[in-house]
Amino acid sequence: MIDIEKHPCFSKEAKGKYARVHLPVAPKCNIQCNYCKRDNDCVNESRPGVTSKILSPEQALTYLIKLKEKMPHLSVVGIAGPGDPFANPVETMTTLRLIRREFPEMILCLSSNGLNVAPYVDELAELKVSHVTITMNALDPEVTKDIYKWVRFDKRGYIGAEGAKLLLEKQLEAIRMLKMYGITVKINTIVIPGINDHLVGEIAKSVKAMGADLMNTIPLYPVAGTPFENMEEPSPAMMKEIRSTISEHIKPMTHCARCRADAVGLLGKDDPEAAKLLSDIANLSVSMDENRPFVAVASNEGMLVNQHLGEADSLYIYKETPSGYRLVEDRRTPPSGTGNLRWEALGKSLHDCRALLVGGIGPSPSSIIGRSGIKIMEMTGLIDDGLDAIFKGKSLRTMKKADVFRCGAECSGTGTGCG
């Protein structure tokens, strides 16, 4: 049984007893906050949105195994970026599945803006993800429109109040669904003087009514290179008053350390040696299952990974040989029209494949096929580049989707790819 009292970010008593690690497997984000600047290869700043390296799901598991050997008191694995976990749903869900199989007692948690959480809540509950943090900065889109530069959802961009309204709707939906499964929900609110500081109590009252368990008010940290770089940071007196106000409605968190996306160790006392281990693992080509020698590819013409899985009547199957990659067969996919049974059948038919390269994939097929132990890589670009990433562990170069997508003959969309 998972002991939630061992989570140092949710329990102040656990802060000095149990370690946590944030696995940096989610580099992309689906919103742009005016106070946020994501940085990879960054070792000098201690704030959310930065990491020294990005890991693949397999590298993340290897990293965790080595950390657990070194830190027996490590009790929590979180994914908090450096982007948003659900702007990178394939990497996030694959990582969670790998960890849950290897560490059944580990506490799993996520920190998200909430925009794309809802489609994955069912599987999060199945994987016993026990803690989720949603960052919510106001309940009025006319306020939050000044906080977010843009919002991207379902392959469409939104700006201004329209984007802020969509984000709020999805955040509220996520909270409701998470609480339906009894998942502990923490609300993070960035306190921005002159914009939302007077509204934090209203947020606390509303989210508590929805079942949220905890609220963390975080003072704005002006970051150079962002639109809010010259804004004033809230004073300690302001933060004390705000926390007093929200305590009338919901339990406040008072020990936040504004952790990096690759934080590891005790809260506020990160392990200084972990950065080298992270770097070593990031440069390591993690061996795959030799009993699965093939890779399946969704492609319109056999040169590019450019087809949405839902449109693929067949998949190209490749194998690595001493003389290069060889096309083994053109394998038919199960017929459409059977709902999730199609993806269960496809997962079984790909039993000899270690990975599936697709131009796009929905939450249900990603979840169902991923349970078969198949690594799913959503990408756009040359098939050989994708195969290099799987077989050789090379960095993946991608093209813009507009350059590579060609929708199927029966598609009624706009030619920008399927959702």
Q: Is 371 helix (H, G, I), strand (E, B) or coil?
A: coil
> Tens-of-pLDDT digits for all 419 residues of the chain?
445 565 656 655 555 557 788 999 999 999 999 988 876 554 555 556 677 788 889 899 998 998 888 888 888 999 988 999 999 998 999 999 999 989 999 999 999 999 999 999 999 999 999 999 999 999 999 999 999 999 999 889 999 999 999 999 999 999 999 999 999 999 999 999 999 999 999 999 999 999 999 999 999 988 888 999 999 999 999 999 999 999 999 998 875 556 777 888 766 666 677 777 888 888 876 655 667 899 999 999 999 999 999 999 999 999 999 889 999 999 999 999 889 999 999 999 999 999 999 999 998 899 899 888 888 999 999 999 999 988 887 777 655 443 333 444 334 333 333 33
Q: Is 332 helix (H, G, I), strand (E, B) or coil?
A: strand
The residues with which 101 forms a beta bridge, in sequence order, are none
Answer whether 0.75 is exceeded by the pTM: yes
Sketch out the chain's domains with CATH numbers.
4-282 (3.20.20.70), 294-404 (3.30.420.130)
Alpha carbon distance 138, 146 (integer Å) = 11
Alpha carbon distance 350, 345 (integer Å) = 9
Confidence (pLDDT) at 418: 38
Alpha carbon distance 59, 389 (integer Å) = 13
Alpha carbon distance 319, 416 (integer Å) = 30
Give the alpha-carbon dihedral of 82, 86, 90, 92, to 10 degrees.
Answer: 50
Residue spans of alpha helices (H) in 295-382: 340-349, 363-370
Rg of the chain on CA atoms, in Å: 22
Confidence (pLDDT) at 23: 93
Cβ atoms of 417 and 401 closer than 8 Å: yes
Alpha carbon distance 38, 137 (integer Å) = 19
Confidence (pLDDT) at 47: 59
Cβ atoms of 220 and 191 closer than 8 Å: yes
Alpha carbon distance 390, 326 (integer Å) = 14
- Sign of the Cα torsion 212, 217, 223, 229 reads positive
Q: Is 99 helix (H, G, I), strand (E, B) or coil?
A: helix
Cβ atoms of 188 and 135 closer than 8 Å: yes
Q: Is 227 helix (H, G, I), strand (E, B) or coil?
A: coil
Cβ atoms of 139 and 203 closer than 8 Å: yes
Confidence (pLDDT) at 367: 87
